[in-house]
Amino acid sequence: MHILDIQNVRKSFGDNEVLKDISLTVDKGEVVSVIGPSGSGKSTFLRCATLLETMDSGTLRYMDEPVATMENGRIVYTKDLKKVRGYFGLVFQNFNLFPHYSVLKNVTDAPIHVQKRPKEEVRAQALELLDAMGLGDKANAYPCQLSGGQKQRVSIVRALAMNPEILFFDEPTSALDPELTGEVLKVIRQLAEQSMTMVIVTHEMAFAHAISDRVIFMDGGVIVEQGTPQELFEGTKKERTRQFLQNYQR
Amino acid sequence: MTFQTMVGELAYAFINTFLIFAFTLLGALPLGLIVYFCKKSRFLPLRWITEVYISVMRGTPLILQIMVIYYVPSLVFEITFPGNWRFYAVVVAFIVNYAAYFAEIYRGGIESIEIGQYEAAQVLGYGKLQTFVKIILPQMVKRTLPAVTNEVITLVKDTSLASAIGTIEMFTKAKQIAVSPRSPGMMTFLVAGVFYYVFNAIVAFVMKRIEKALNYYQ
């Protein structure tokens, strides 16, 4: 069983074809990093997988359950999207915490009111997760009282509290000051060690190299190359990949 | 008429002023939200009607709207309403007028909320109604409070327009007293002004407290 199985995704915005036949499967416990230049379609791909964008064509399955299928050349989404959304979590570049909720309420509100889980159980889990992320003393703080790194860790906890099968990260450190990226990357590394299934869109090459089982290089709406971090970062056979990585090392 | 009697009569008439004010807020604050939703509706005719409604409410004098609502049913359709129609007509006119303004204020507030808030809610599985009630509405209230305060203060003064159809409220009373024999004359209007001013000072104070209470987050 694949956790995520997304095939032949096409997506255009007007005349601009952003995704040209992209496919990806992710298995349990895998950490997949998606790298590539700005405008390569990485984020759009992630947004298609998390149902924030509808694909023009392609198929999508979570836990082998069909979410989007092609019928007579037209894409059809399942009606029960609420259930599907329970399978994944998404950590945004800009955190998107709810400013009027305390840290604890940000984390517990959806598990309680969307998943209808018992209040006490959710609270206990949330406090435990916050503690594990070094935010034990911030449960009653409001997002505006937190640093960027703390906000991003809260948003990771918020996603984890939903008990997702897979966690997506959309450039989780790109909105942070350089000295704050470390604390967020450390937390993601921690999750990798706990065998959390993750897809991470990132510009942090060293980080992608260190924690990924698989790295995907996207450019111009296609997957140019994918492989182990060693294959991609150390022995790429594609000129375009080499170019991109060189620009990063400079 | 002594000064004290005049103040007493104005104070008594002020009860009606306050009632017009309170009923208008009770009706227009929620109605404004409904108008906003109509304006955003996917049903095109409803959207057009709402556009026309808002444009007429904002584009014509409130005093004229009060007169139309008061006179048209009886003069044109020969409908007579039981009870104190003079009073209800004013309240209805104020509610439909202020709802149009509130709808536009709400729109500004709701549209200023980052798309990321909706996306975060969607990914977490919140339904449309949950997203609006739990995530968007509270932030909208905070953002629109200064503009709403402005409208509420204007409303206090606008209640005096009820005198256009002779509804008894403080301003109508003041006009009656001022022209009555041996009245304190212009002094009556000055006192009425003080009533409005003090009431608005209280309104401003209360709104400021609410704003402060919502300052626990940015």
Spell out the domain ranges in chain B: 3-216
Token pair for B155: 């409303």
Task: Provide mean pLDDT across the span B6-15.
Answer: 90
User: Identity (one letter) of the amino acid at A87?
Assistant: Y
Contacts of A115 in chain B (CB under 8 A): 125
Report how far residue A233's alpha carbon sits from residue A229's, in angstroms, rounded to the nearest whole number.
6
In 3D space, the residue among B200, B166, B169, B159 whose CA is nearest the CA of residue B62 turns out to be B159
Query: In this predicted model, what pLDDT tens digit does every residue of A164-178 receive, in sequence order?
Result: 999 999 999 998 888
Contact of A153 with chain B, judged by CB distance below 8 Å, is answered with no
Report how far residue B168's alpha carbon sits from residue B9's, in angstroms, rounded to the nearest whole number.
11
Report how far residue B215's alpha carbon sits from residue B218's, in angstroms, rounded to the nearest whole number.
7
Q: Does residue A60 contact residue A68 with C-beta atoms inside 8 Å?
A: yes
Is residue B55 pLDDT above 60, yes or no?
yes
Report how far residue B80's alpha carbon sits from residue B216's, in angstroms, rounded to the nearest whole number.
51
Residue A250 pLDDT: 54
Contact of A54 with chain B, judged by CB distance below 8 Å, is answered with no
Query: Chain A: residue nearest B119 by CA?
Result: A52
Tell me the shortest Cα–Cα distance from A162 to chain B, in angstroms: 8
Q: Does residue A7 contact residue A58 with C-beta atoms inside 8 Å?
A: yes
User: Whole-prediction pTM value?
Assistant: 0.90
Which residues, other chains included, contact B131 with Cβ-Cβ below 8 Å and sequence gap of 6+? Answer: B118, B121, B122
Report how far residue A233's alpha carbon sits from residue B29's, in angstroms, rounded to the nearest whole number.
60
Tell me the shortest Cα–Cα distance from A86 to chain B, in angstroms: 7
Q: Does residue B6 contact residue B191 with C-beta atoms inside 8 Å?
A: yes
Measure CB to CB from residue A162 to each of B117, B124, B139 and give the nearest one: B124
Is residue B64 pLDDT above 60, yes or no?
yes
Contact of B111 with chain A, judged by CB distance below 8 Å, is answered with no
Report how far residue B214's alpha carbon sits from residue B218's, in angstroms, rounded to the nearest whole number.
9
Chain-chain contact of A92 with B134 (C-beta, under 8 angstroms): no
Q: Which of B113, B119, B122, B123 to mutate to test the interface with A (most CBs of A within 10 A)?
A: B123
Tell me the shortest Cα–Cα distance from B150 to chain A, in angstroms: 24
Tell me the shortest Cα–Cα distance from B207 to chain A, in angstroms: 19
Residue with tokens 């966690």: A167
ipTM of the predicted structure? 0.93
Task: Provide mean pLDDT across the span A1-14.
Answer: 95
Report how far residue B141's alpha carbon sits from residue B132's, in angstroms, rounded to the nearest whole number.
12
Tell me the shortest Cα–Cα distance from A143 to chain B, in angstroms: 8
Contact of A110 with chain B, judged by CB distance below 8 Å, is answered with yes
B3-216: CATH topology is: MetI-like fold (1.10.3720)
* CB count in 10 Å sphere of residue B201: 11
Contacts of A110 in chain B (CB under 8 A): 124-126
What integer best gives the mean pLDDT of chain B?
Answer: 93
Query: In this predicted model, what pLDDT tens digit does every residue of B125-151 receive, in sequence order?
Result: 999 999 999 999 999 999 999 999 999
Q: Does residue B145 contact residue B210 with C-beta atoms inside 8 Å?
A: yes
Contacts of B218 in chain A (CB under 8 A): 99, 142, 144
In 3D space, the residue among A220, A67, A159 whose CA is nearest the CA of residue B123 turns out to be A159
Chain-chain contact of A100 with B117 (C-beta, under 8 angstroms): no
Report how far residue A124's alpha carbon sits from residue B49's, in angstroms, rounded to the nearest whole number.
51
Report how far residue A177's alpha carbon sits from residue B190's, in angstroms, rounded to the nearest whole number.
60
Measure CB to CB from residue B126 to each of A100, A110, A144 and give the nearest one: A110
Query: Chain A: residue nearest B215 by CA?
Result: A100
Chain-chain contact of A85 with B123 (C-beta, under 8 angstroms): yes
- State the burial class of residue B175 (Cβ atoms within 10 Å of its Cβ: 0-12, 13-18, 19+): middle
Residue A249 pLDDT: 66
Task: Provide mean pLDDT across the span B92-110.
Answer: 97
Report how far residue A53's alpha carbon sits from residue A57's, in angstroms, rounded to the nearest whole number.
12
